[in-house]
Structure 1
Amino acid sequence: MPYVYILECADGTYYVGSTRDLDLRLAQHQLGQGAAYTRRTGRRPVTLRWHAEFERMDDAFLWEKQIQGWSHAKRTLLMEEGFEAVRGWSRRQRAAKRADGAASDIEGEATG
């Protein structure tokens, strides 16, 4: 079965990948035979932090690319609380930034 997975590297960064054989791929990462990212000095050992199984490899690959575009904070939320917690996360982040910006504008008008 295809998987998408997140590894935590020894330096605290995350690596997102997809594979048909999760156990083999983890062993490759640990041995320095995985992706160039995890082969770099200071990245190993790696720890499997999260994974999901898919019916088709192309679905796993699409999710890999989606998750790679996420921030460290959003990946952490996925690992700790799952897909449901991530739904709407970006919208909440944008709304919070707009609210902060509006508060700054109001403060600027009051002092200006």
Structure 2
Amino acid sequence: MWHIYLLECVDGSTYTGITTDVDARYRLHVLGSAAQYTRNHPPRVLIAALPVGTRAQTSRLERLIKHWSKARKLAFFQPYTTDWRSYCSCAPSEPRDSAAPELREPLNRHTVAVQHVATTQAEIWAILRRRVPSLTQSTLRCGLSEDDAARWACVWIDELDGSPADLIAHGHADKVLAYVLRATHQL
């Protein structure tokens, strides 16, 4: 999966780039061998990295963001400035089965007991808001109400090959976030 990332440089400027391996690319920027810009403006910190999807989709978003002001870039990436690995499936220390144990029981109730669907959807949405706030904020930015977002989180989406809540429960929040970002920016 391709990611878009934002660096803050030592002079206060920002750099936007894309990669499939954020850590390796950041190390290259620090060494001065990744881009001419970061050779002349060494990076101070990786602000955020977001999974987007294909190289073409990520490149389109990068072109869009590179034309934005620094303030707009920072505002866009701000919800994702917490450790981005915490919601990506590439988190190194988190076994897949323990990715979201608090979601298992409500997800099971959602799939088995139709009469509890509305309550369970709201419960799942509340857990997702706590667990992945940046993803849920991005979902709401698409124009969904809280109720619609709660329903959306529990519905099978062919492109994702599952429901957002189920994917998040199994450590694949990065796929859901990428899907939401593509939808938000029509990529």
Structure 1: 4+ residue segments shifted above 6 A: none
The DSSP-based 3-state class of the residue aligned with 2:7 is strand
Residue 36 of structure 1 corresponds to 36
Structure with larger RCO (C-alpha < 8 A, sep 6+): 1
Q: Within 2, Cα distance between the matches of 1:57 and 1:81? A: 23
Residue 75 of structure 2 corresponds to 77
Which structure is larger by alpha-carbon Rg, 1 or 2? Answer: 1
Q: CA deviation at 1:79?
A: 2.2
RMSD: 1.7
- TM-score (norm: length of structure 2): 0.41
Residue 49 of structure 2 corresponds to 51
Structure 1: which 5+ residue stretches go unaligned? 88-112
- TM-score (norm: length of structure 1): 0.67
- Give the aligned length: 83
* Deviations 1:87-109, CA, capped at 9 Å, x for gaps: 7xxxxxxxxxxxxxxxxxxxxxx
Q: Within 2, Cα distance between the matches of 1:51 and 1:72? A: 16
Residue 22 of structure 2 corresponds to 22
Q: Is the 8 A contact 1:25 1:34 kept in 2?
A: yes
Percent identity between the two aligned chains: 34
> Would the alpha carbon gap of residues 31 and 71 (structure 1) be closer, same or farther in structure 2, given more than 3 Å must change?
same
Residue 7 of structure 1 corresponds to 7
Q: CA deviation at 1:3?
A: 0.6
Q: Within 1, Cα distance between the matches of 2:21 and 2:32? A: 17
